[in-house]
Structure 1
Amino acid sequence: MLLTRPARPHPALRFLRRPKAALLASAVTVCLVAAGAPAEPLGVGDRIFPELGNPGYDVAAYDLAFTYPGSNDKPLKAVTTIDARLTSSLNRINLDFAHGTVESVDVDGRKAAFTSAGEDLVVTPDHALPLGSVTRITVRHTSDPRPADDQDGGWVQTTDGLAMANQADAAHLVFPCNDHPSDKAMFTFHVTAPDGYTAVANGLPTGAVRTGGSTTWSYRSQHPMATELAQVSIGRSAVVRRTGPHGLPMRDVVPAADKKELEPWLAKTPDQIAWMESKIGPYPFETYGVLMAQASTGFELETQTLSLFEKDIFTEPAYPKWYIESVMVHELSHQWFGDSVSPRTWSDVWLNEGHATWYEALYAEEKGDHPLQDRMKAAYGASDRWRAAGGPPARPKPPAPGQKIGIFRSNIYDGAALVLFALRQEIGKDAFERLEKVWVQENRDTSVGTADFVRLASAIGGRDLTGFFQDWLYGEKTPPMPGHPDWKQVPPPAAASPAKKS
């Protein structure tokens, strides 16, 4: 994710960026719960979001069906079907779900009791589920696009419909799920909307069926996906198709009335994919495209195979072309770093954002004449302040109450890219570039953590880099930059005197 700006661009084009995910701080043991014991929320022990995710099962596939009523002032009808393998014996199943009404739950085709506990939907089937068994859970529910008072994310209302922005912890505001990036699964979508609307989702289309005054569009992913990366667009949209490198099928989703104006930006994506492939290898998914939504979010988001952008970033004249293209590359980079290779825990989010920021900056250097070293030197000067404010890159401070996306701070964007710059300085450019390629190739379609990156970097770098990473990723102070002993921390500018009241 990239926090691109405040409501209006700063004259100096300074922009914030947005963060992502993390995993198990401690092992969780799951056992059979006494039938009469009260339901309680569970979690996988993530340091950042301790009650997200659920122990005891591994989701293999989601089948999501949404019926859009034609306006955003009432809930969508929905059916979520989950196929999961039990990793513990259970007589209750906790699903993450909030901001919707559950009508019924079936487990393996038989009615099950259910209740809520915190932000969990707790399901009690009429039979115990043994370790190793495969179960199907079907939840009939509503999915509410109206904002919740104390929750961020989920459905995003656009001027002509809806889109999704589930990062980091908001997929369960849309559908019941195991809402943690450590549990990736296959996804199928069925979206029904009235005539005049078009629905698009992650993956490739599998059909469209018109019935009466509505159409049901179906899509299916060909690679596992984290819940935070799910995307459904419903709007009065045009779908623009083209072919990318190596015959890659591409589709962009834009407001139909703006198709011609936005086409020059859409046409840039194939070359951007080719540029990324020249750096780190083949694009990892079955399709790609951008979704330009008529919405005000303040961020762009790398939803898998269909990145979400505010339309206005492409039409705001204050943004130079090189900047907009680098933002596009930031979200494209995430298809490798964050989507294909997902974080095991939300403390590992620096692996997503640091790499996306790195390739964004490298693209700006090669295509826009904005030297990466200048940006890294500036980041170095601010790094101690970022660490104090948000924590070191691999141990971000938890979000403040009511600010769940607050983990997306400068320390995991330019601060994490600075770690990669230091690593390249430490092991050399050739070893660093090999590391990047091997990392995405060996870990494709998985969830991995910081320790995995440290081990691979040490193997390719030819020496134990544990101490190097300990200082750069977890230290309260920024270590000296290899090869640049003259780089120093820069004190913050003096605060301006408060304006006098008249």
Structure 2
Amino acid sequence: MPPRARWLRSAGLIASSAGLVAAALPAPAPLGIGDPLFPHLGNPGYDVLAYTLDVAYPGVNTKPLSAVTRIDALVTDDLERINLDFTHGEVSAVTVDGRPAAYASSGEDLVITPAAPVEAGEPVRITVTHTSDPSGPADTGGWVRTGDGLAMANQADAAHRVFPSNDHPADKAYFTFRITVPDGLTAVANGLPAGRVRHGSTTTWTYRTRHPMATELAQISIGRSTVVHRAGPHGLPLRDVVPTADRELLEPWLRRTPAHMEWMERQVGPYPFETYGVLVADATTGFELETQTLSLFERRLFADRALPEWYVDSIMVHELAHQWFGNSVSPRSWSDLWLNEGHASWYEALYADETAGRSLERRMRAAYAASDGWRAAGGPPAAPEPPSPDHKISLFRPVVYDGSSLVLYALRQEIGADAFQRLERAWVARYRNGNAATADFVALAGRTAGRDLTGFFRGWLYGEKTPPMPGHPDWRSNPPRDAGSAPERG
């Protein structure tokens, strides 16, 4: 039976004096792809290929932006409905392949009923006209209100507070941004510039990514900003986005990025994207964030003279390292977060050791002493406990930072520094522009070392207690007491 005929039968169409009338579908309901930490995040039945996000900023960062989000996707299952993740905005129209579609909200899903079902193997274009509301508590994520405009902080599950999407890192896609702002403001987004057009008293800025990106890594900056350009290794275009008033204040930090990039390339190989830069926001978030090609930093990180120079330097390297670990190679589920944060913390610590004499071994020994407490408070590195429902950022606990870089230190101790570096370079090359899971890392580590490491990783990644440290039988982990707080980084 052809797919269309199957649908007609399952929909229960019946003849009546009014013509053909479809039996009612079940009430709209939120779906998910079964992520163990965010069960309603993401949606089954389609693969997003590209997003085009048009937003118009009204000039005040407390008022909703008007927006149109276009999603080009490939349908993977026959669908009578299409669920998108979306909340904190008002929808005024939806079309599917140019035809008006019915829609309803259920939980944090926008549930769309096309005029006709979509079939597996077909491309589909979904267009949603909506608002995007920057109001609300800062710690919920999505839009971040700055001193002169807006930025975005979507990790882990807040992109759908800004635009309708399949908001899970397992479904990466290409992005085009068209951002319309009043005169006097600058708009920047992920990727490279693709045009700028004036319309009376407003300007539309366009940007496109050249590599697929997870929704949680999307970035739009709107403000009274200056874009600072310079060249990185191999002529890589670097661009920093800073408050215009702070241009000179920040230059001593901005000019460090080329050396950071050269150092990271010596560790793991070529930078994976088309550009990179630092976005400095006049906002208090409590974290820095590795948004793809344009990492978000709080202004106070650079302006606070009480912070040691080596510390600020190493945090810049932490976010840069994420471009390889977390951005280019994205987690398959949020339980794989340790692969992002453990690696970024590892290179942060290694950089501080090599350039500022901040002992890596001393830091790892301190992490080992705290490790059992961290595991008791938040679960082991590869099986973290779910975040608090009303404070999703609580997922970012010490166990996923230094508690996970400790796993990498133990691995290097176990297989040797040469094999460890080969593994790191192979990891980012093999899974570039894609997704990978903990099991993939374990398997690649075993192949690189030439022996089965599943037993080693079982204790280090899933054990309630921290295993003995190879090469350091005298190291001890303290009994669980104070689990500490998460470091100020993303």
TM bin (shorter chain): over 0.9
Shift, 1:73, TM fit: 2.1
Q: 1:302 aligns with which of 290, 296, 304?
A: 290
SS where residue 140 of structure 1 aligns?
strand
Q: 1:82 aligns with which of 45, 64, 71?
A: 71
Alignment of 1:194-343 (within 5 A): 194-343=182-331
Q: How many residues align?
A: 464
Q: Are residue 444 (structure 1) and residue 432 (structure 2) matched?
A: yes
Task: Give, as a single letter, the amino acid of the residue that structure 1 aligns with 2:294.
Answer: L
Cα deviation 1:94-117 (Å, max 9, x = unaligned):
000000000100000000000001
Question: How far, CA to CA, are the matches of 1:93 and 1:387 in structure 2?
Answer: 39
Q: Is the 8 A contact 1:107 1:125 kept in 2?
A: yes
Uncovered stretches (5+) of structure 2, i.e. residues with no partner: 1-9, 12-22, 484-490
Shift, 1:198, TM fit: 0.1
Task: Give, as a single letter, the amino acid of the residue that structure 1 aligns with 2:420.
Answer: F
Q: More relative contact order in 1 or in 2 (CA 8 Å, sep 6+)? A: 1
Question: How far, CA to CA, are the matches of 1:459 and 1:223 in structure 2?
Answer: 28
Q: Is the 8 A contact 2:167 2:216 kept in 1?
A: yes
Question: How far, CA to CA, are the matches of 2:461 and 2:132 in structure 1?
Answer: 39
Question: How far, CA to CA, are the matches of 1:285 and 1:400 in structure 2?
Answer: 34
Q: Are residue 36 (structure 1) and residue 25 (structure 2) matched?
A: yes
Q: Is the 8 A contact 1:67 1:192 kept in 2?
A: yes
SS where residue 415 of structure 1 aligns?
helix
Q: Are residue 399 (structure 1) and residue 387 (structure 2) matched?
A: yes
Cα separation, partners in 2 of 1:207 and 1:381, compared to 1, 3 Å: same
Question: How far, CA to CA, are the matches of 1:283 and 1:35 in structure 2?
Answer: 52
* Identical amino acids, percent of aligned pairs: 67
Q: Which residue of structure 1 lines up, in the alignment, with residue 101 of structure 2?
A: 112
Q: Is the 8 A contact 1:167 1:229 kept in 2?
A: yes
Q: Which residue of structure 2 lines up, in the alignment, with residue 187 of structure 1?
A: 175
Shift, 1:490, TM fit: 2.5
Q: Which residue of structure 1 lines up, in the alignment, with residue 6 of structure 2?
A: none
Alignment of 1:419-498 (within 5 A): 419-491=407-479
Q: Which residue of structure 1 lines up, in the alignment, with residue 55 of structure 2?
A: 66
Q: Are residue 126 (structure 1) and residue 115 (structure 2) matched?
A: yes
Cα deviation 1:25-54 (Å, max 9, x = unaligned):
xxxxxxx88742111000000000000000
Q: Is the 8 A contact 2:178 2:205 kept in 1?
A: yes
Q: Are residue 356 (structure 1) and residue 344 (structure 2) matched?
A: yes
Q: TM-score w.r.t. structure 1 length?
A: 0.91
Question: How far, CA to CA, are the matches of 2:288 and 2:465 in structure 1?
Answer: 30
**Moved runs in structure 1, 4+ residues, more than 6 A?**
492-495
Question: How far, CA to CA, are the matches of 1:94 and 1:492 in structure 2?
Answer: 43
* Aligned residues: CA RMSD: 1.5
Question: How far, CA to CA, are the matches of 2:242 and 2:450 in structure 1?
Answer: 48
Q: Are residue 368 (structure 1) and residue 356 (structure 2) matched?
A: yes
SS where residue 306 of structure 2 aligns?
coil
Q: Is the 8 A contact 1:99 1:148 kept in 2?
A: no
Q: Is the 8 A contact 1:59 1:184 kept in 2?
A: yes
Task: Give, as a single letter, the amino acid of the residue that structure 2 aligns with 1:285.
Answer: F
Question: How far, CA to CA, are the matches of 2:61 and 2:481 in structure 1?
Answer: 45
Q: Is the 8 A contact 1:357 1:417 kept in 2?
A: yes
Q: Which residue of structure 1 lines up, in the alignment, with residue 20 of structure 2?
A: none
Question: How far, CA to CA, are the matches of 1:306 and 1:77 in structure 2?
Answer: 24
SS where residue 300 of structure 1 aligns?
coil
Cα deviation 1:408-446 (Å, max 9, x = unaligned):
001110010000000001111100000000000110000
SS where residue 84 of structure 1 aligns?
strand
Shift, 1:492, TM fit: 6.4
Question: How far, CA to CA, are the matches of 1:148 and 1:54 in structure 2?
Answer: 26
